[in-house]
Amino acid sequence: MNKTYAYNHNPIKFNFEQTIERFFVEEIPLFAFADKGSNLILKIKKSDMSTFKLITVIAKATQLEQRDIGYAGLKDKNATTIQYISIPKQYERDVVKNLTTEKIEILEKFYSKFPIKVGQLKGNNFSIILNHVTKEAREAIEQVAQKMVEKGIPNYYGYQRFGEDSKSYLQGKEIAHSGKKLKGAKEKLLVSAYQSYLFNEWLSERIKISKTIHKNSVEDASKILDYPLELVKVLAHQKQFFKLFIGDDMQSYPYGKSYPIQDFERACQEFTAQKYSPTGLLVGSKVKRALGDAKHLELPYDDNELYALKGDRRYAWIFPKELSFSYNEAEKQLTINFYLPKGAYATTFLEEICKSSLKPKSTRR
């Protein structure tokens, strides 16, 4: 999987390891809880435990079925995370009494009329400790990260999505093309890895196109891309890095309704104002495709045989927020804090800085 990076700086070196001591993430709920109702909302801090394992532990402590335990998003095992879980209110005593593992701490309790559903979160706050950061690297990281907050970043799926050998999408493709109904969470995960792979490939191609226009004269870009000169002139006239095409699906940011681009001026203004962002295809049975020129660019990454999942559209470009740093010069340790909307990967943000994969070497094959 060849990822094209959007920014032009030289790669910046640092040491990154996703561990419970160096990787912190906190879920930001979509809305405030009403504090009354038949559902107990638990704000839980956990470490060295996946969300699925957390749900298993809560099910055991309460004798609930796993399907009766609500969560908004999946959080990694190799991290210290804060997330929200919902259970029926009558199990409050059981969960408090029987949840005894040191890996889990209940920070706060709320009540709600409704259980938490997957996807019901605004985004996540991250705090990540980078090691072996020289003073020069620190300055470079801070400069680039600041620019990324101002201009935005590509919304690639992270390496975590594709399994230890980075090839789980191939199994997903096979399952999708078999035409059978999906069996269980694992098959669904594999097929969604194939969906994510197609999205990443499309996004990489669109960034390649944008870079070609950004770095070359209109005439040279026209030859390299084999596009009509007039089209390249229109694209080059767009001030933002990620170039928009007629028919691109522009969605209100960070959530909301979408429209296909007909008027470049309006779309570019809304994009640079961070009010709308273009979306890419997550292929499936009930999903809106792009139109016009954008559809032509989407077609190589579409798959009519993938109808086992509904499909969706995903922001191609996102805007990190709330960036801050603290630096320990003696330890050469830089802590970077930032917020990303739901579904975005912190490792994707960091990889845009260092311009290489942060996937642990021990799991590469």
Report residue 101 as tokens. 């593992």
DSSP, residue by residue, 229-244: HHHHHHHHH-SSSS--
Q: Are strands 276-282 and 249-252 parallel, antiparallel or unpaired?
A: antiparallel
Report residue 1 as tokens. 């999987």
DSSP run (H or E) holding 107: strand 104-112
DSSP, residue by residue, 115-143: ---TT-EEEEEEEEEEBS--HHHHHHHHH
Reduced to 3 states (helix: H, G, I; strand: E, B; else coil), residue 19 is: coil
| Cβ-Cβ contacts under 8 Å for 154 (sequence gap 6 or more) | 5, 6, 203, 207, 242, 316, 317, 348, 352
Closest to 50 measured CA to CA, from 83, 21, 87 = 83
Query: What letters, b where the CB count within 10 A reaches 16 and e where it falls short, cover 22-47?
Result: bbbbbbbbbeebeeebebbbbbbbbb
Query: What letters, b where the CB count within 10 A reaches 16 and e where it falls short, cover 146-185?
Result: eebbebbbbbbbbbebbbeebebbbbbbebbeeeeebeee
Catalytic residue among 35, 48, 68, 76: 76
Contact call for residues 165 and 173 (beta carbons, < 8 A): no
Altogether, the residues listed in the chain come to a count of 365
| Cβ-Cβ contacts under 8 Å for 190 (sequence gap 6 or more) | 168, 169, 171, 172, 175
| Cβ-Cβ contacts under 8 Å for 230 (sequence gap 6 or more) | none
Longest dimension (CA), the chain: 71
Clarify whether 76 is annotated catalytic.
yes
Active site residues: 76
